[in-house]
Amino acid sequence: MPFAQIYMIEGRTIEQKRAVIEKVTQAIVEAVGAPKESVRVWIHDMPKENWGIAGVSFKDLGR
């Protein structure tokens, strides 16, 4: 059972998340030949203050 974990900064719409799940699933099916029904995708919605670049959080960077 292929399992993909996707980390994204919060703020994506439900439609965007649906598209990610659909496209990642299809990519796994095509790449490894797994049945679509066996593919799992987990999106981690990360708060901006929990992610940083060069020692500064995304929130503090204004991103």
Output the pTM of the full model.
Answer: 0.84
- Which phi and psi angles does 53 have, rounded to 5°? -130, 130
Active-site pick, 1, 2, 10, 48: 2
Predicted pLDDT of residue 27: 98
For residue 39, the tally of other CB atoms under 10 A from its CB is 19
Nearest residue to 20 via CA among 6, 40, 39: 6
Task: Please indicate whether residue 35 is annotated as part of the active site.
Answer: no
Q: Is the pLDDT assigned to residue 62 strictly greater than 90?
A: no
**Helix, strand, coil % (nearest 5) of the chain?**
45, 30, 25
For 10-61, the pLDDT digits (tens) are 999 999 999 999 999 999 999 999 999 999 999 999 999 998 899 998 889 8
pLDDT of the residue at 24: 98
